[in-house]
């Protein structure tokens, strides 16, 4: 094999890498995977939240606590299902932030805005959850449910609307 043949193979080997980089940038750099992961996590969180609301006993000592103290109590001293629910809710915040960053890097303004709506809804659900631990108010439970629905709808829009994750940035 001549030296030219080796260089030709080397360039040919890098072409698929360049193509992957280009398609990743055009495809929103994992936006669809991020949105799908969020949908799956939200559905798990929703089901777990229903279970906690119906069957878990929140310790009486947690009533009256502020937002972050209630979160800490839920994770450290609450029933296991409540702790998992609280941690998964926090991971959903991280997932939402990751989607916004990916959308911004891919120059997908509509996906970034839709992701920001999902993030704000997740923050609202998280705060409602902490409030629920603090006072067991039905309104807090309802707030979690509605906010979860808004976040879920936002991610489904990202997955369903062509152009939010594909094609040139908008």
pLDDT in tens, 115-170: 999 999 999 999 998 888 878 788 989 999 999 999 999 999 999 998 787 766 55
pLDDT at 18: 45
Mean pLDDT of 61-78: 79
Say how far apart CA 151 and CA 125 lie, in whole Å: 9
Percentage, residues of the chain above pLDDT 90: 50
Neighbours of 69 (CB within 10 A): 14
pLDDT at 99: 96
pLDDT at 132: 85
Say how far apart CA 88 and CA 52 lie, in whole Å: 13
Bigger pLDDT: 169 or 69? 69
The answer, yes or no, to whether residue 25 has pLDDT greater than 60, is: no
Say how far apart CA 112 and CA 73 lie, in whole Å: 33
Report pTM: 0.78
User: What residues does each domain of the chain span?
Assistant: 3-160
pLDDT digits (tens, 9 = 90+) for 96-113: 999 999 999 999 999 999
pLDDT at 21: 47
pLDDT at 138: 86
pLDDT at 8: 47
Mean pLDDT of 62-66: 74
Q: Which two tokens stand for residue 5?
A: 């043949």
pLDDT at 123: 97
Residue 137 Ramachandran class (φ > 0 left, ψ -120 to 50 alpha, else beta): beta
């Amino acid at each position: 094999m001549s030296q030219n043949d080796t260089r030709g193979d080397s360039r040919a080997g890098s072409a698929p890498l360049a193509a992957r980089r280009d398609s990743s940038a055009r495809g929103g750099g994992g936006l669809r995977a991020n949105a799908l992961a969020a949908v799956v996590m939200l559905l798990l969180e929703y089901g777990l939240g229903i279970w906690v609301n119906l069957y878990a006993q929140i310790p009486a000592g947690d009533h009256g606590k502020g937002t972050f103290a209630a979160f800490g109590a839920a994770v450290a001293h609450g029933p296991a299902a409540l702790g998992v629910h609280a941690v998964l809710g926090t991971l959903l915040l991280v997932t939402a932030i990751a989607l916004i960053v990916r959308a911004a890097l891919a120059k997908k303004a509509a996906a970034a805005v839709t992701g920001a709506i999902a993030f704000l809804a997740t923050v609202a659900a998280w705060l409602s959850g902490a409030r629920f631990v603090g006072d067991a108010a039905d309104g807090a439970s309802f707030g979690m449910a509605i906010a979860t629905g808004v976040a879920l709808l936002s991610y489904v829009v990202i997955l369903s609307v062509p152009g939010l994750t594909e094609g040139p940035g908008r």
